[in-house]
Structure 1
Amino acid sequence: MNNKHKKRLLENTIFLYALTFSGYFFSLITVPYQTRILGPEFYGKVGFAVAMMTYFRLVIDFGFILSATADVAKNREDAQKVASIYTAVMYAKGLLTALSFVILLGICYAVPMLRQDMFLYLLTFASVAVSAFLPDFLYRGLETMKRITIRTLIIQAFFVLMIFLFLKTPQHYYFVPLFTLIGNAVALLFVQRHVSRQLKIKFVRLEKGYLWQTIQKSSPFFFSRISATIYQVTNTLFLGLMYSPGSAKVGMYVASDRLIGTAKTTFSPLADSLYPYMVKNRDFRLLKKIIWIIMPPVIIICIVLSIYANECMALFLGPAFYGAGSILRLLLPIVAITPLVYMLGFPTLSPMGLAKHANLSTVVSAVVQLVGLSILFLTGTFSVQTLCMMTVLSQFTVLVYRVFIVWKNRHIFSQKELLEDVPQV
């Protein structure tokens, strides 16, 4: 691996971290304020809406963040090919957005509980749909994250300011998706202008059948991503349907799950930036070194947080969320194994020619989660605590599966080492 590739990887990783953390960092700033103003009940309502819309976000994205990123990375020197990939993905997202909107309207009209808060769900859907059109796949594949990161940081700071200025009572809970929508819309306008004027990438006429081929190619990644998200989103939906979206139990779980999700995203940018790099360079030694550096401090931090979980929740989210510490404690093992789950996924299995197993592992995990939840319901043992335990079990299933596949095919690493002295072009 030459110095130019290393420098590009480092720079892309830094800006991808900044881009990802901008959303979660600014969100994290507002979460303590939101929980104190809204309380567990109204915060649970917003969390339920976000969980429900996550399914639609996955449908709109349809796995393009992985399939299209790899395609752009492989063809970044061919401007016409990149433009075709970009056009096909954006067209596909437009079709999927229209389909999702029709389905959402049908669900809201069919379920009285949702119909009462339809404005909240429509606002949340709009914010999620607009965000899905941000062409992250393009910037990740090109490994040029600097400009989009700076613009996005500025736009998301606007959201934080609006929340502090206007969210004053629990009845203003719909301001959360409203200001998210405004921030995402402005960010999308800036990004599209940059793509067109600076990157010189415009919409082009697609060959017959190319759009459908793009959707078909991404379908395995879609099923992988929706399987990986089932535990997190479905858990909130199950709890909301069991206790109602405005239940304090739902609010407690949503708050804990939000923190777990934020912690998991600290590892996502590293894995995402390594993914296109590993596809081209297959530097397994670097991957191994990163894992050994990350894992010890992650485990130590999780242990400390587990000991002081209740105090941390009360300090961070307010006294009303002190009891949520017991939920956080049960979910912390997920954070501890996340670096391994991410690194042994597409960054490792794709360059090994085993990407299908990264998808299959999440499908197996989703099956374990759904079967486990069914058993809990049938045996009358379903609760927030047993739900958390089943979630941890399903996530360990992903790790065990990927470790087994990597170990079974470890001879591929040896083949790579035999070629490590060959100069790269």
Structure 2
Amino acid sequence: MLASALPILRENILYTVLSYVVIFESVFLMDFLFRGLEKMHIITIRFILMKVISTLLTFILIKNDSNILLIPILDILSSTIAIILVFFEMKKMNIGLRFSGMANVFNSIKNSFVYFLSNVASTSFNALSTIIIGIYVNATEVAYWSVCMQIIGTIQACYSPISDGIYPEMIRSKNIGIVKKALKIFLPVIGLGCVATIFLAKPVLLILGGEKYLPAVPILQLLIPNLFIGFLSIMFGWPTLGAIGKAKETTISTVTSIIVHIILLVALIIFNKFNLYTIAIVRCITEAVLFGMRYMYYRKYKNLFNSEEVK
């Protein structure tokens, strides 16, 4: 339905379908299982393997626009390899799949609805700007935005193993020192990375897209604050608030940031200020709102955490 409504998706329907296959495959990566078993190294190894395979093959095989279909195909290939390794690990642990009936399925959905809503809102948050841009601007600008968001998204994807790695320990210990230590270690690295990305935006886009994507340099630079603020948003989300049972508050912060995002985008359209530069600024503002709310909740419920020093 969405593909038929948006010209850019309709014109690239095969690419759209293949990209959806990658999303479908993610169901079988079993993150929830290994997170629950506290086998985070399996998730980390699988994630690194997927990205290395996909990235290397992309640099080797993608030469120009005519190779566009290879991008989702390579993602499908890397995801399939990761799924095979996941099921191999499950077999070693004598874990198999069993269908327990629709009643249990609906009961599980009911019990985890807050988590579901939060994840759906978060996913929508990342896709909303691209969809609206696809409606209001030309294909060239959509391409600029897409490549910038791919770069930002790829870097931010590296945050998930960090967040997933400390989440089980936070649930068990409620020790906020774990989060603080992670922030002390990774924030300086991310900060330096942000500064480096600002200065290296031009060569990065030149390598990834060629000279025709160089007009996207200032857009990428405007999106850089998302890399820093986004890490804070993630760390004060599920690893912090979720660990003390504040799933509702975590979800409220996500949904509120979505509403702010929509309001600001509509305002840009109404006042005829809708362009890639203002959208990038709105994206940063929205991320700041998300972090601000989560940090506010953290301060409110600070007494629910332990404060043991982490070596």
Question: Could you say which TM-score interval applies, normalised by the shorter chain?
Answer: 0.7 to 0.9
Equivalent pair of 1:151/1:187 in contact (CA under 8 Å): yes
How much is the aligned-residue C-alpha RMSD, in angstroms? Answer: 2.8
Aligned residue pair count:
309
Match of 1:144 in 2: 39
Deviations 1:8-43, CA, capped at 9 Å, x for gaps: xxxxxxxxxxxxxxxxxxxxxxxxxxxxxxxxxxxx
Matched, 1:355 2:247: yes
For residues 273 and 288 of structure 2, the distance between their equivalents in structure 1, rounded to whole angstroms, comes to 21
Q: Which residue of 2 is the match for residue 364 of structure 1?
A: 256
Please name the residue that 2:168 is paired with.
276
Instruction: Note closer, same or farther for the CA distance 1:169–1:256 as it changes in structure 2 (3 Å cut).
Output: closer
Partner amino acid, structure 1, of 2:69: Y
Structure 1's 157 and 305: CA in aligned 2 closer, same or farther, altered over 3 A?
closer
- The one-character-per-residue Cα deviations of 1:300-336 (angstroms, maximum 9, x if unpaired) are 4423433554455335643332222201121111112
The 10-residue stretch of structure 1 (265-274 or 150-159) with the greater mean CA deviation from structure 2: 150-159
Could you tell me whether the CA contact under 8 Å between 2:219 and 2:280 is conserved in 1?
Answer: yes
TM-score scaled by structure 1? 0.65
Structure 2: unaligned runs, 5 residues or longer: none
% identical equivalent positions:
26
Q: Distance in 1 between matches of 2:32 and 2:122?
A: 19
**Unaligned 5+ runs, structure 1:** 1-105
- Alignment of 1:410 with 2:302, yes or no, is yes
Q: Is 1:182 aligned to residue 77 of structure 2?
A: yes
Task: Please state whether the residue corresponding to 1:209 is helix, strand or coil.
Answer: helix
Q: Aligned equivalents of 2:155 and 2:53: distance in 1?
A: 23
Larger radius of gyration: 1
2: CA distance, partners of 1:186 / 1:227: 29
Distance in 1 separating the partners of 2:47 and 2:68: 24
Q: Give the conservation status (yes or no) of the 8 Å contact 1:227–1:365.
A: no
Q: Are the structure 2 counterparts of residues 159 and 330 from structure 1 closer, same or farther at C-alpha, using a change threshold of 3 Å?
A: closer
Normalising by structure 2, we get a TM-score of 0.87
What displacement does 1:176 show? Answer: 1.5
After superposition, residues 25-40 of structure 1 pair within 5 angstroms as: none
- Counterpart Cα distance in 2 of 1:311 and 1:169: 17
Summarize deviations over 1:134-162 as a string: whole Å, max 9, x none: 11111122122445665676676554565
1:396 Cα deviation (Å)? 0.6
**Distance across 2 between alignment mates of 1:179 and 1:316:** 16
1:330-378 Cα shifts (integer Å, max 9, x gaps): 1111112223211111111123332211111111000000011111111
Contact 1:131 1:185 in 2 (8 A): no
Of 205, 210, 215, the residue aligned with 2:104 is 210
Higher relative contact order by CA 8 Å / sep ≥ 6: 1 or 2? Answer: 1
Q: Which residue of 1 aligns with 2:118?
A: 224
CA offsets, 1:366-422, max 9 Å, x none?
000001111111111111111111111111111111111111222223xx35xx69x
Match of 1:389 in 2: 281
Query: Could you tell me how far apart the structure 1 residues matched to 2:234 and 2:78 are?
Result: 29
Counterpart CA distance in 2 for 1:325 and 1:265 is: 21
C-alpha contact 1:155 1:183 (8 A) present in aligned 2: yes
Partner of 1:242: 136
- Counterparts of 1:11-410 in structure 2 under 5 Å? 106-108=1-3, 114-146=9-41, 159=54, 163=58, 166-195=61-90, 197-204=91-98, 206=100, 209-244=103-138, 247-307=139-199, 309-314=201-206, 317-410=209-302
**Contact (CA 8 Å) 1:127, 1:184: kept in 2 or not?**
yes
| 1:374/1:294 CA distance change after superposition, 3 Å | same
Once residues 40 and 5 of structure 2 are traced to their aligned partners in structure 1, the CA distance between those partners, rounded to angstroms, is 42
Provide the C-alpha distance between the structure 2 equivalents of 1:159 and 1:266, rounded to a whole number of angstroms.
15
Contact 1:369 1:390 in 2 (8 A): yes
| Structure 1 residues 170 and 360: alpha-carbon distance in aligned structure 2, compared to 1, 3 A threshold | same
Report deviation, 1:285.
1.7
Q: Which amino acid aligns with 1:202?
A: G
Amino acid at match of 2:166: L
